Homo-oligomer: A and B are copies of this chain.
Amino acid sequence: MFSKSCEYGLRAVIFIAQQSLLDTKVSLTTISEAIDSPQAFTAKILQQLTRNNIVSSIKGPHGGFYIEMEAMKTLNLSAVVKVLDGDDIYTGCGLGLKQCNEDKPCPLHFKFVDIREKLKYMLENTTLIMLANDMELDVFHLKT
């Protein structure tokens, strides 16, 4: 479904969002331990996410990563996925055809339509703050 980068990225974002709800900035080390991901690789992913204004960061002592409250309310999973995997998951053809649409469909086109729509709807309607709140319930986990 998603690339490794995107999987780590989503897990990192959810963890950071949860912590930001408590006004806590988190370091790279803390993040990669919390989501059980390779640290240096996670750093690269976080760089992409900060460049694209998904997460914010501050250097130096007491620095770390966090997400603005305003951003948490606005941003959804779709925004994160788009930064890390592009929007192929929405627009791409299931059989890998460059041109595949209602007028010139692949044999699976219409069979994929509502699955893709459902996925799109879910990703676009799940905001980061919703996930951060869910995490407070202590029933969801982000590692192993």
Query: A63 on the interface (CB 8 Å rule)?
Result: no
Query: A68 on the interface (CB 8 Å rule)?
Result: no
Question: How many A residues touch the partner, as a band?
Answer: 35 or more
The residue on B at minimum CB distance from A139 is: B105
Segment touching B, from A6-14, A21-29, A50-58: A6-14
Q: In A53-108, which residues have CB < 8 Å from any B CB?
A: 77, 89, 92, 94-99, 104-108
> When the two chains form their complex, are residues B1 and A141 in contact, meaning their CB atoms are under 8 A apart?
no
Q: In A1-50, which residues have CB < 8 Å from any B CB?
A: 1-2, 4, 7-8, 10-11, 14
**Contact surface of A with B, Cβ cutoff 8 Å:** 1-2, 4, 7-8, 10-11, 14, 77, 89, 92, 94-99, 104-109, 111-112, 114-115, 118-119, 122, 126, 131, 134-135, 139-144
